[in-house]
Amino acid sequence: MSAQEIQRETRQQTPRQTAQADTPVHGYCDPRFAAVREAFTANFRERDELGAAVAVTVAGETVVDLWGGWADAAGTRPWERDTVVNVWSTTKGPVALCAHLLADRGLLDLDAPVAAYWPEFAAAGKEGVLVRHLLSHRAGLSGLREPHTLEELYDWELTTARLAAMAPWWEPGTRSGYHALTYGFLVGEVVRRVSGLRPGAFLEREVTGPLGIDFTVGLPARDSGRAAELVPPPARPARQAAAFAQLPPAALAALANPPVGTEQANSAGWRAAEIPAANGHGTARAVAALYGVFAGRGTFGGRRLLSPQAVERAREGQGRCRDLVLGAGLDGETELGLGLWLSGPRGSYGPNPRAFGHDGFGGSCGLADPEAGVSLSYVMNRMGPRIADDPRKTALVDALYSAL
C-alpha cells in the first residue's frame, strides 16, 4: 500500500498513451469463461486500463491466462506473456502461506507467543502477543513509532530490531489495524527464526521453485527488463489529503512511515530489497497459482503443500471490526483470517462469504474459493485510487462467478 499517493494534494499523471478500445488481448481463455475475457477487455475500453493480466484456475488447472496493453507509461513496450509487476499487498497471501506451511509441519504454533521464536520481541510489554496476532494484523504494530526512512526499510535487521523493541499502539489481540508494511517483517522474521530463511527464499525453496511459479519477493536484477512500470493513481482532492493528515497516529505510522509511492516502487533499490508485505513481483498466472494452493485445499499442480485442515485454519475469522488503520477507506466492518481477508458480507472475493484473498494497493488481487475450487489473480500497472475493491478487479470477480 502507498501513502505517498494518498497524501499529495496535487500531482500530474505520468504521461502515457491512453488505452484504446481496440487494445489487443492475448493468451488463452476457456470458452466457459468468456465472460472473464469480456470483462478484461472492457477494462481497457471503459476503465482506462493501461497494462494488465488476469488468470483463473479451476481444480488446479489454468482456464484463463490473458494479458494486454502496455508495460510502460509511455505506451511503447507491450505487456507480454512473461511481464512481471509489483503487486503490493497481494504479496501478503504468499507470505501467509509460508507461515502456514511451517505450522502444518508442526514447526510453528500459531497460538504460541511470538517471543517463543523471537525472544527480543518480548520487549515493551509484548510478551503476550501471539503468532496469530501477527497474521491477523492484531498485534498493534501497524507502523513504527520512530521515523523510519526508505533506506532503513531496506535494512532487514534494523527494521525487525525496531519492531521488536517498540510498544504496541493498541492492546494486541483486541482489534485489527492494517499492518501495511510491518506485516511482512513481523511474519517474515518468525519464518526466518523457525526455518533459517527469510520468506522470499523460503517461498522459493518450498513452493515457487518446485512448482515453477514465476513470483519473487523483490525482483532479481536479471528480471528487471521484463518488469512493468507502475503509473501513479489520479491526484486526490485537497480535502482528502487534509483528512489523511488527521488520521490517528497508528494509522499514520502504518501508511506514511516511510512514505512509499510508485516512484520508489519503480526504483532499483525497492526492487532489490525484501519487503514481504509489499514488493512481490510476478505474473497473474503466478499469483493465481499461489492463491490456488488455498483454493485447492492445499493441493496445486498435483502436489500437496498444505493439509486441508491448514487451509481451514487460514480462513478462521479473527473477529469483525472497523479496521483501526483503513476504517475511513473501507465501507463498514471487515474480517481477517490468519493472513488473508474474508469475502464476508462485502463480497470482496465473490458471493461465497468464506472465500478469501488479498488486494494490493492500486487494484491487484489474489482470490481463493475452496468451495468452488477456483483462484483468480488480477495484476496491472496503472494504479487506481482505492485501497481495495478496485472496479476493474470487481468486474473480473463478478464475471468469474457468473461463469461458474
Lowest mean pLDDT among 6-10, 52-56, 251-255, 388-392: 6-10
Residue 30 grid cell: 476457456
Quick check: 12 pLDDT over 70?
no
Q: How many residues does the chain have?
A: 404
pLDDT value for 378: 98
Does residue 134 form part of some domain? no
pLDDT of res. 18: 44
CA distance 207 to 217: 13
The pLDDT of residue 21 is 58
Ordered DSSP codes for 289-348: HHHHHHHTTTEETTEE-S-HHHHHHHT-----B--TTTGGGSSS-B-B-SSSEE-GGGTB
Q: How far out from the chain centre does Cα 379 lie? A: 11
| Backbone torsion region of residue 54, taken as left when φ is above 0, otherwise alpha when ψ lies between -120 and 50, otherwise beta | beta
| pLDDT, position 239 | 72
Q: Please pick, among 89, 142, 176, 348, the residue that the annotation labels catalytic.
A: 89
Burial class (CB in 10 A: 0-12, 13-18, 19+), 333: middle
Q: What is the model's pLDDT at position 71?
A: 98
Q: What CATH number is associated with residue 50?
A: 3.40.710.10
260 in a domain, yes or no? yes
Across the chain, what does the average pLDDT equal?
93
Strand locations in 156-279 (E) = 215-217
Say how many C-beta atoms besides its own lie within 10 A of residue 276's C-beta. 28
Asked if residue 216 is part of any domain, the answer here is yes
Provide the grid cell at 403: 461463469
**What pLDDT digit, counting tens, does each position of 43-87 carry?**
999 999 999 999 999 999 999 999 999 999 999 999 999 999 999
Average of per-residue pLDDT across 172-196 = 98
Note if the bond before 391 is cis, omega within 30 degrees: no
Cα–Cα nearest to 253, from 179, 144, 92: 144
Confidence label for 8 from pLDDT (cuts 50, 70 and 90): very low
Q: Which residues pair with 27 in a beta bridge?
A: 66
| Radius of gyration for the alpha carbons in the chain, expressed in angstroms and rounded | 19
Share above pLDDT 90 across residues of the chain, in percent, rounded to a whole number: 88
- What pLDDT does residue 11 have? 28
Q: What angle do CA 141, 236, 266 make, to 5 degrees?
A: 65
Asked if residue 125 has pLDDT above 50, the reply is yes
* Assigned domain for 122 exists: no
Rounded Cα distance, 324 and 31, in Å? 43
pLDDT tens by residue, 206-262: 999 999 999 999 999 999 999 999 999 887 777 777 777 788 999 999 999 999 999
Q: Which domain holds residue 23?
A: 4-97+200-403
Burial of 137 (0-12, 13-18, 19+ CB in 10 A): buried
Cα gap 182→170, rounded to integer Å: 15
Residue 123 lies in a domain: no
> Is 149 domain-assigned?
no
pLDDT tens readout for residues 149-160: 999 999 999 999
Least Cα distance to 230 among 72, 393, 397 occurs for 72
For residue 300, pLDDT over 70 is answered with: yes
Residue 364 appears among annotated catalytic residues: no
Number of domains in the chain: 1
Q: Is residue 393 part of a domain?
A: yes
* Inside any domain, residue 185: no
The tens digit of pLDDT for each residue in 18-53 reads 445 578 999 999 999 999 999 999 999 999 999 999
